[in-house]
Amino acid sequence: MFLINRHRQVGSIRSPLARLVSSTSSLSIPVPWGSIAAVQWTLGDGPYTDWVAVHGLLDNAGTFNKIIPGLPEGIRVTCIDLPGHGLSSKLAAGSLYYMLDHVATLQRVKDYLGMEKCVLLGHSMGGWICGLYAAIMPEQVLGLVSIDGIKPISRYSDGMIPRIREYFGTLEKLEAKRNEKGMSEEEAFDKLFKGTNMLHGQGAITEEAARCLLTRGIIKSASGSGFVFTRDIKHILKDLYGIAHEYNTEFAANIRCPHLLVRASAENAATAWGKEKEAMEEVLSIYNRNKLFTLADVLGSHHVHLNNPERVLPHIDTFVRCHQLSN
């Protein structure tokens, strides 16, 4: 049985557009390598439509703290920490992380919680994962909401050999490193805040938004001398993350459920990568063949859902009501 810790009425992280949050529950879901940590939100008094929310690379379930309180009532959202993120278990030493393995993790979570069908909500890499799942398991997905996550990075044959060579070189250095040194909470916050803005561009995340990620992003060090980040350092080996472009187009063509893509106006790490802009436009043209697809462009950065949830929520609200994705 999964572990649950219930809390009534969340106050400190309520959105300015918040409706009634009936409760939040902390979950620990067993998996073969340890556990998947999650936070489950219920909105209103029920009955509920189940949603599963998946965060982006190096983030955690806290990425949804600002937006979930503003969702329509009649929804129960389970926000997971992906393996090696937040409070979820890391993979064993020597194991590596791959995109499609995260899709399998999503299936494990749904199976364990007894969800036959659900709505998927993802940000950035979480949106990629949810999109892959929607293409592979269409009968299990009621709807898909992706926030600034158009598709997995497209990979091409001409760049693979140098990328793999660099990947192995970086992996060797990471495995030779000693454990991270303990930091004060403010030092950890400073690293998280500056690191996110360095990755996605200055202004990508506000200080208030970054603190939503810090709560699940650090723990006391084993020695007790300060804090360390909870994410597995191997996740910086993102250079191999991605899928062959022809596979991406095939996945895109197989997403047939109601599909909302909220696209932020600012550049981010994915849009600045190689041939990604052209690849994204091709995939968007495929999405547009789905009569249930909606593209909503919003002013803001990659973490617009955390920085400015009021810009994203009206689009989700309209989408949910149009496709009856809440009870």
d(CA 134, CA 130): 6
DSSP structure string for 58-107: T--GGGGTTTGGGSPSSEEEEEEPPTTSTTSPPPPTT----HHHHHHHHH
Tell me phi and psi for residue 19, to 5 degrees. Answer: -105, -160
Start-to-end C-alpha separation, the chain: 26
- Tokens at 315, concatenated: 């689009």
Handedness of CA 240, 237, 103, 323 (dihedral sign): negative
d(CA 147, CA 301): 11
State the residue for tokens 């996740």: 235
DSSP symbol at 169: H
52 close to 122: Cβ distance less than 8 angstroms: no
Q: Tell me which residue of 319, 271, 313 sits closest to 149, measured CA to CA.
A: 271
95: annotated active-site residue: no
* Collapsed DSSP state (helix, strand, coil) of residue 75: strand
How far from chain centre, in Å, is Cα 174? 24
Q: Tell me which residue of 325, 112, 146 sits closest to 133, measured CA to CA.
A: 146
Catalytic residue among 124, 146, 154, 326: 124
76 close to 104: Cβ distance less than 8 angstroms: no
239 close to 122: Cβ distance less than 8 angstroms: no
Gyration radius of the chain over CA positions: 19
312 close to 279: Cβ distance less than 8 angstroms: no
State the residue for tokens 């949050």: 21
Active site residues: 124
